[in-house]
C-alpha cells in the first residue's frame, strides 16, 4: 500500500488546528511542560536496555523494575544469540517475572553495517523480523546511523529503499513495523517512506534528533502523522528532561494532534556527555517522574 504524507505547506495550513489542540499553560507544572492530570487514555513509559544494563543483557529487566519503568526496548545484539528459541523464552519469562514489558526490539548492529550495501544486512533484517514474530513484537527499530546513515549519496539511498522494499512484504505479513531512526529532517524521512511505499516501514521519532535546527517538534510530528511508529524521549544538551532545549509540551501537543498513545522510551545517557547529576537510579527516576507528568499513565 502506497504511503501518503502531507507536504510541509499542508502542515502549515493545519497550524491553526494544532494550536487549538494546545494544552492551556495554566495546566503546566512549574518546572516544565506537562499537564498534571489528563483523563483521555494514557501512555506507557520505558527505557532502553543498552543504557539500563547493556545491549541484549537480560539483567536489564531487573534494573527497569527497580526504577519503576513500564517496559524496555530490547536490542537484538549480534542477532545470532536471539535466534535461539531458548534465548527468546528467557527474555519473555524475565519480562513476566519482573512485570516489565518488552516495548519493542532494536537492531542496533546496523550502525556498523551498511543497510544499503553490506551483503550481511538482508539476512540480519530478515532474522530480526522472524525474532519479532516469534516474540510477538510489533515494532523493530532499525538504527540508521553510522554506516546505515540515511543521509547518504542518492545512489546509496536508492539502494537502501530497494532493500527496504524487499523486506516490507514479509514485515507486513508478520504485522511487524520496521522503524527507521536517523538524524534527518522529516522531509527526508518523507522521501524515503514514499520511496518504499509500505505501511510496514515507518519513522522512529527521537525528540532530540527532531529538534536538530530548532524546529517546532509538534509540527514535525504532525508532518509525519501515523507514519511514526514509536518515540524516544531525549532532551538536547541536558540529561535532565525539561532542563535542556526540548519543549516536551510541544511533543505532547504533537502526539495529541495525531492521536498517539503508544510507548515513550527514555533514552539519554549516551547522548549527553558528563556525569548523571543525581546518580544513575535517581536521575532515571527523576526523568521518569517528569515524563509521567507530561505523559500520564494509562488507567
Instruction: Summarize the confidence of residues 141-166 as an average pLDDT.
Output: 90
pLDDT tier at 41, thresholds 50, 70, 90:
low
Domain range spanning residue 137? Answer: 8-294
Q: What is the pTM of this model?
A: 0.85
Q: How far apart are CA 28 and CA 167, in angstroms?
A: 43
Instruction: Summarize the confidence of residues 211-221 as an average pLDDT.
Output: 81
In a domain, 177, yes or no: yes
If DSSP codes are grouped into helix, strand and coil, which group holds residue 34? coil
Q: Which three cell numbers stand for residue 152?
A: 547518504
Indicate the burial class of 188 (C-beta count within 10 angstroms; 0-12, 13-18, 19 or more).
middle
pLDDT of residue 273: 62
pLDDT tier at 156, thresholds 50, 70, 90:
confident
In a domain, 74, yes or no: yes
In a domain, 1, yes or no: no
pLDDT tier at 274, thresholds 50, 70, 90:
low
pLDDT tier at 272, thresholds 50, 70, 90:
low
Counting the structural domains of the chain, the total is: 1
Tell me the CATH number at 73. 3.20.20.150
Chain centroid offset of residue 195 CA: 21
pLDDT of residue 137: 98
In a domain, 299, yes or no: no
In a domain, 3, yes or no: no
In a domain, 2, yes or no: no
Query: CA angle, 199 as apex, 134 and 201 as ends, to 5°?
Result: 70
Instruction: Summarize the confidence of residues 22-28 as an average pLDDT.
Output: 34
Cβ atoms of 210 and 248 within 8 Å: the answer is no
Indicate the burial class of 84 (C-beta count within 10 angstroms; 0-12, 13-18, 19 or more).
exposed
Q: How far apart are CA 157 and CA 117, in angstroms?
A: 10
Q: Which of 265, 261, 244, 258 is nearest to 296 (CA)?
A: 261
Helix (H) or strand (E) holding 266: strand 263-266
Partners of 107 in the β-ladder: 142
pLDDT tier at 96, thresholds 50, 70, 90:
very high
Highest mean pLDDT (candidates 111-115, 167-171, 181-185, 190-194): 167-171
The Cβ of residue 83 has, within 10 Å, a number of other Cβ atoms equal to 15
In a domain, 272, yes or no: yes
Instruction: Summarize the confidence of residues 224-242 as an average pLDDT.
Output: 93
pLDDT tier at 36, thresholds 50, 70, 90:
very low
Q: Could you say which DSSP state residue 35 is in?
A: B
In a domain, 267, yes or no: yes
Cβ atoms of 76 and 56 within 8 Å: the answer is yes
Q: How far apart are CA 160 and CA 169, in angstroms?
A: 15
Cβ atoms of 242 and 268 within 8 Å: the answer is no
> DSSP H helical segments within the chain, as ranges?
8-13, 15-20, 49-52, 60-67, 85-98, 121-134, 154-174, 186-196, 207-211, 217-224, 248-258, 280-294
Amino acid at each position: 500500500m502506497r504511503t501518503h504524507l502531507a507536504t510541509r505547506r499542508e502542515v502549515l495550513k493545519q497550524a491553526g488546528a494544532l494550536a487549538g489542540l494546545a494544552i492551556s499553560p495554566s495546566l503546566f507544572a512549574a518546572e516544565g511542560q506537562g499537564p498534571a492530570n489528563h483523563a483521555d487514555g494514557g501512555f506507557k513509559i520505558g527505557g532502553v536496555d543498552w543504557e539500563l544494563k547493556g545491549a541484549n543483557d537480560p539483567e536489564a529487566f531487573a534494573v527497569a523494575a527497580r526504577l519503576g519503568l513500564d517496559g524496555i526496548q530490547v536490542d537484538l545484539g549480534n542477532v545470532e544469540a536471539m535466534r535461539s528459541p531458548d534465548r527468546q523464552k528467557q527474555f519473555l519469562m524475565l519480562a513476566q517475572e519482573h512485570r516489565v514489558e518488552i516495548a519493542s526490539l532494536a537492531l542496533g548492529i546496523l550502525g556498523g553495517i551498511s543497510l544499503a550495501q553490506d551483503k550481511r544486512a538482508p539476512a540480519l533484517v530478515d532474522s530480526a523480523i522472524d525474532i519479532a514474530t516469534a516474540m510477538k513484537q510489533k515494532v523493530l527499530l532499525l538504527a540508521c546511523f553510522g554506516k546505515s546513515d540515511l543521509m547518504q549519496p542518492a545512489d546509496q539511498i536508492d539502494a537502501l529503499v530497494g532493500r527496504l522494499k524487499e523486506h516490507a512484504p514479509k514485515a507486513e505479513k508478520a504485522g511487524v513495523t520496521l522503524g527507521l531512526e536517523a538524524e534527518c529532517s522529516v522531509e527526508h524521512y518523507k522521501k524515503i517512506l514514499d520511496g518504499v511505499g509500505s505501511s510496514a516501514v515507518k519513522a522512529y521519532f527521537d525528540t532530540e534528533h527532531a529538534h536538530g535546527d530548532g524546529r517546532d517538534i509538534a509540527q514535525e510530528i504532525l508532518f509525519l502523522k501515523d507514519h511514526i511508529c514509536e518515540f524516544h524521549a531525549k532532551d538536547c544538551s541536558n540529561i535532565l528532561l525539561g532542563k535542556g532545549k526540548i519543549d516536551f509540551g510541544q511533543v505532547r501537543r504533537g502526539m495529541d494532534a495525531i492521536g498517539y498513545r503508544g510507548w515513550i522510551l527514555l533514552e539519554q545517557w549516551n547522548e549527553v556527555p558528563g556525569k548523571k547529576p543525581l546518580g544513575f537510579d535517581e536521575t532515571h527516576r527523576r526523568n521518569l517522574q517528569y515524563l509521567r507528568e507530561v505523559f500520564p499513565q494509562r488507567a
